[in-house]
Amino acid sequence: MYRPTKTTVYLDGDDYRRLQRLARKAGRKTAELVREAVAEYARRLAPATRPRSLGAGRSRRKNLSERAEELLGGMGA
């Protein structure tokens, strides 16, 4: 679920005017362009991390998936 957080960003006047022109040209709001740019920047510099629990149950056995039926035989009986 998308829950926006309000923040204030101070921009150089020239940058803000360029942003306004870009937004007008694209038929979008300046805030949309700022959110898009921040999201892109954050993805590039801090890519999503994997959960620490991923791989926690690693067995290091290469044939585990091939032997699943054999290993799980009788479970739930």
Domain range annotation of the chain? 10-47
**According to the model, what pLDDT value does residue 32 have?**
95
Residue 16, both tokens? 């803000």
CB 20 within 8 A of CB 11: no
Q: What is the CATH number of domain 10-47?
A: 1.10.1220
pLDDT at 67 over 90: no
Q: Would you say how long the chain is, in residues?
A: 77
Instruction: Work out the pLDDT band at 25, boundaries 50, 70, 90.
Output: very high
